Amino acid sequence: MNSTPITILFACRQNAGRSQIAAAIARSLAPHHVTVLSAGTEPASEAHPEAVAVLREIGLEPTSEPSKLDPADVKASDWVITMGCGESCPIFPGTRYEDWPIDDPAHQPIDEVRRIRDDIRIRVEDLLERALATA
């Protein structure tokens, strides 16, 4: 297995729901040489309670408080994943960008948030497989 360092940044505007779920799942699945970041351009004061609840159901927690998107983190990332929330990130050569059309879990019924979490997990698994294959 190739162990070239890889950095993945998940970004959504508030960094309180989708990107927090994606980052927690990615960190739980990624090998040690993969760094996972999450951030947003307008970070909330805390992660959405719905996101925290569905992560706890699978034994995970958000790994950080919502944080401000830093262009230096975007530049340092190999992959930047926006979460269908209209987030925009600076574009740097050599960085791969994807936008995942994922519903906002904020204020949704718990069954809907579970569906969103499970969709994100499938996407994260696919991303990690592709990222590790191309590193």
**If residue 131 lies in a helix (H) or strand (E), which one and from where to where?**
helix 110-134
Cα 56 from Cα 46, distance rounded (Å): 16
What mean pLDDT, rounded, does the chain reach?
92
Q: What's the predicted TM-score (pTM) here?
A: 0.93
47 or 134: which leads in pLDDT? 47
Confidence of residue 18 (pLDDT cuts 50, 70, 90): very high
Whether pLDDT at 1 is above 60: no
Q: What is the CATH number of domain 6-134?
A: 3.40.50.2300
Tell me what the mean pLDDT of segment 29-51 comes to: 94
Instruction: Report the candidate in 112, 100, 130, 71 with the shortest Cα–Cα distance to residue 12.
Output: 100
